[in-house]
Amino acid sequence: MNINHHLDDATLISYSAGALSQGMALVVATHISICDQCRQLAEANDALGGALLESLDSEKVGDTMLANLLSQLDDQPPETVTLAPVKRDPEIPVPLSDYIDGSLDQLEWKRIVPGVAYYDMPWEGRGVSRLLRIAPGKSMLAHTHDGNELTMVLRGSFSDEVGRFCRGDVADLDDQIEHQPLVDSEEDCICLIATDAPLRFTTLFGKLVQPITGF
């Protein structure tokens, strides 16, 4: 896959450190699963975690823990890797398929305004974690953020002040950027997005609909 926009290394470090929200970690895992370049960086960052683990001063464990474990080992079946279902929709990368049944078109999309709909991921948190579906020629409302925002394209494409984003690309933005993505594909653009803080819309209309959209 030809991917032109990648994750920021600061985001990848945070993912390896286990410091990302569920929603942000889902976008990262989904992108890494199809991007060799980011995967190599993620593996290097995990190795940093391993080295840091080794560098820690030991903490005493209970005297009986090893004996407890040894007494259980014979009853432990080896864990097998859960293979992704064979019928899995190829449009949905494996990490995301854990949370979506069927295809993207079968989801119960909720309309915000004409041409813009969303589907929320099944968890609650401080930020946003959802799929966003925007019709051709439509634009996401201009906004900025207090925190980070990750947007990965699953279908179609959009352009904003940073560049053009197609399937597999990820926009990894922070609070320095105000942007207004415009869908420039012939089909709907579907993105997986996550923020670690609420968005701030920059137009009066955006501010008016903010309570409705739940951002």
Partner 1 sequence: MNNRPPGEDLENIVQISQADMASSDWSDLLASLSENADKRVYARLFHHFAPKVKAYIVRLGVNGGAAEEVTQEVMLSIWRKAHMYHPEKAAASTWIFRLARNQSIDWMRKQKYPLYSLEEWSDTAAEPGQGEQEVLSDRVAKAISLLPEKQSQVIYMSYFEGRSHGDIASRLDIPLGSVKSRIRLASEKLKQIWGGEYEH
Of the candidate spans 56-64, 110-118, 183-191, 198-206, the one that interacts with partner 1 by CB under 8 A turns out to be: 56-64
Binding mask 8-47 for partner 1 (x = CB under 8 A): xxx--xx-xxxxxxx--xx-xxx-xx--xx-xxxxxxxxx
The residue among 54 and 186 lying less far from partner 1, judged by its C-beta, is 54
CA–CA gap between residue 31 and residue 42 (Å, rounded): 11
Nearest approach in angstroms of CB 45 to partner 1 is 7
> Closest CB to partner 1 among 62 and 114?
62
Give the per-residue contact string, 149-168, with partner 1 (x = CB under 8 A; - = no). --------------------
Residue span binding partner 1 (CB under 8 A) among the ranges 90-98, 109-117, 162-170, 179-187: 90-98
Three-point CA angle 174, 31, 18, nearest 5° = 70
Site for partner 1 in 111-130 (CB under 8 A): 123
Distance CA 159, CA 94 (A): 26
Residue type, 133: R
Residues near 53 by beta carbon (within 8 Å), at least 6 away in sequence: none
Backbone angles phi, psi at 149, to 5 degrees: -135, 130
Size of the site for partner 1 (CB under 8 A): 75
84 binds partner 1 (CB under 8 A): yes
Q: Least separation, in Å, of the C-beta of 131 and partner 1?
A: 14
* DSSP letter string, 59-79: -PPPTTHHHHHHHHHTT-PPP
Return the exposure string of 82-97: e unless at least 16 CB atoms fall within 10 Å of the residue's CB, then b. eeeeeeebeebbebbb
